[in-house]
Amino acid sequence: MARIVMKFGGTSMAGIERIRNVAARVKREVEAGHQVAVVVSAMAGETDRLVGFCREASSLYDPQEYDVVVSAGEQITSGLLAITLQAMGVPARSWLGWQLPIHTDTAFAKARIGEIDTTALDESLASGVVAVIPGFQGVAEGNRVTTLGRGGSDTSAVAVAAAMKAERCDIYTDVDGVYTTDPRIVPRARKLSKVTYEEMLELASVGAKVLQTRSVGLAMKEQVRVRVLSSFDDARDEDGHRGTLIVGEEEIDDMERQLITGIAHDKNEAKITLTAVPDRPGAVGSIFAPLADAGINVDMIVQNIAHSTGSTDVTFTVPSADLARSLDVLEKGQGEIGYASLVHDTRVAKISVVGVGMRSHAGVASTMFQTLGARGINILAITTSEIKVSVLIEEDYTELAVRVLHTAYGLDAEAA
């Protein structure tokens, strides 16, 4: 007997037929003797429909009322899954965010989960009743409904798993796991059977969008073992596993450990260059402080060496969606910053190689530069972390770069 959390996304919950498929999977775990809590998303498209209503009602909608509206989607699917489970002979009940309760802060529309009270839940699970919990929602001080921001159901699942001390949090989705890179670019990409939290964070934030980044961070903090697997496909690996397990580094044997775990790419960045910025203390601060104030996330930053004129060029990237606002902020600050010109380019891509193994191996970065150089791919910027090396290149070379790096680091699967 173990306690497990199963989480199903919107595609898995889209319509009663698919909800029956979900219920059948839950039933299998119950019959295996487990105590099961299920966290569900709204039906695919439903949250968009509800968000659309709010936006139509007012472009400046009150997030407290937005949360009342959009949380309804998960409320509906949680009741429907409970009904479907009961119809299959599996005792089940729904627990809305305010019923459990799942306490959050008061950051409406993007709330963070605080404490989850599991007293009633523990009792219900112990009596053999499956708990169906709508993802994405909670309740704040003053008894107001909150939501966690888009994709928040993954975070709900991990938080519930942590609170109920679940052995595992299974995230069912429309892909069968985490791959070494995007299989649409590299058909010989391999599914990873295990990946560390840290690697998953780097892979998720740079483009391998399987799990919400926040949920991975929470899983790491709370040491929740997360598994990503398919709702629709029961295929197992040669070693009998399904999906990809996301765990702490200590759970990965040396035997399994690879130098590089995966290659990610992200085309949603834009590059901004300020030329001839005065090379004096505080100059860089005057660029980035107003961007931070505007809530814009600056990613890669490169400061060239100073020109003999006593000025320097500063290049950095921002999310493409924030480019217009960034340019606005920088143009307004030209007097204070004192740059000569402002150049931007959206036709760039960030390519990252990720792996905890690189901590103890030199040469990862230089392999990357040489491999790209050999194909004539120009590197516009570089950043590194302990387990990641990222480069900015021209967008047109994205697929080529991913493919050659995948081969260079020995990630290609054996030909079938």
Q: Which stretch binds a second copy (CB under 8 A): 63-71, 183-191, 245-253, 370-378?
A: 63-71
Contact between 19 and a second copy (CB under 8 A)? Answer: yes
CA distance 314 to 287: 9
Q: Is 11 annotated as contributing to ligand binding?
A: no
Q: How far is CA 101 from the centre of its chain?
A: 25
* 93 token code pair: 């009940």
CA distance 328 to 331: 5
Cβ nearer to a second copy, comparing 160 with 392:
160
CA distance 76 to 110: 21
Contact between 11 and a second copy (CB under 8 A)? Answer: no
395 CB neighbour count, 10 Å cutoff: 16
Cβ nearer to a second copy, comparing 134 with 177:
134
Minimum distance between the CB of residue 122 and a second copy, rounded to whole angstroms? 16
3-state secondary structure of 87: helix
Contact between 54 and a second copy (CB under 8 A)? Answer: yes
Cβ nearer to a second copy, comparing 79 with 290:
79
Contact between 127 and a second copy (CB under 8 A)? Answer: no
CA distance 372 to 26: 47
* 384 token code pair: 């590194």
87 CB neighbour count, 10 Å cutoff: 11
CA distance 95 to 248: 30
Q: Which stretch binds a second copy (CB under 8 A): 73-81, 108-116, 157-165, 260-268?
A: 73-81
For residue 348, give the H/E element and its range.
Answer: strand 348-354
Minimum distance between the CB of residue 207 and a second copy, rounded to whole angstroms? 34
Minimum distance between the CB of residue 87 and a second copy, rounded to whole angstroms? 4
Cβ nearer to a second copy, comparing 128 with 410:
128
Contact between 110 and a second copy (CB under 8 A)? Answer: no
Minimum distance between the CB of residue 152 and a second copy, rounded to whole angstroms? 17
Q: Which stretch binds a second copy (CB under 8 A): 76-84, 168-176, 202-210, 346-354?
A: 76-84
Contact between 99 and a second copy (CB under 8 A)? Answer: yes
Cβ nearer to a second copy, comparing 72 with 400:
72
Q: Which residue is it, tokens 């079938």?
A: 416
The single residue among 48, 79, 278, 288 that binds a second copy, judged by CB under 8 A, is 79
Bridge partner list, 392: 350, 381
Contact between 147 and a second copy (CB under 8 A)? Answer: no
* 244 token code pair: 């990809």
The single residue among 113, 145, 318, 351 that binds a second copy, judged by CB under 8 A, is 145
Total binding residues for a second copy by CB under 8 A? 38
Q: Which stretch binds a second copy (CB under 8 A): 28-36, 46-54, 108-116, 397-405?
A: 46-54
For residue 228, give the H/E element and its range.
Answer: strand 226-230
CA distance 201 to 249: 13
Q: Which stretch binds a second copy (CB under 8 A): 32-40, 87-95, 105-113, 312-320?
A: 87-95
Give exposure, 7-41, as e/b (b: 16+ Cβ within 10 Å): bbbbbbbbeeebbebbbebbbebbeeebbbbbbbb
Cβ nearer to a second copy, comparing 75 with 258:
75
Cβ atoms 323, 230 nearer than 8 A: no
CA distance 280 to 314: 13
Judged by the rule CB under 8 A, the positions of this chain that interact with a second copy are 16, 19, 50, 53-54, 56-58, 60-62, 64-69, 71-73, 75-76, 78-80, 82-84, 86-87, 93-94, 96, 98-99, 143-145
State the binding site for substrate: 47, 74
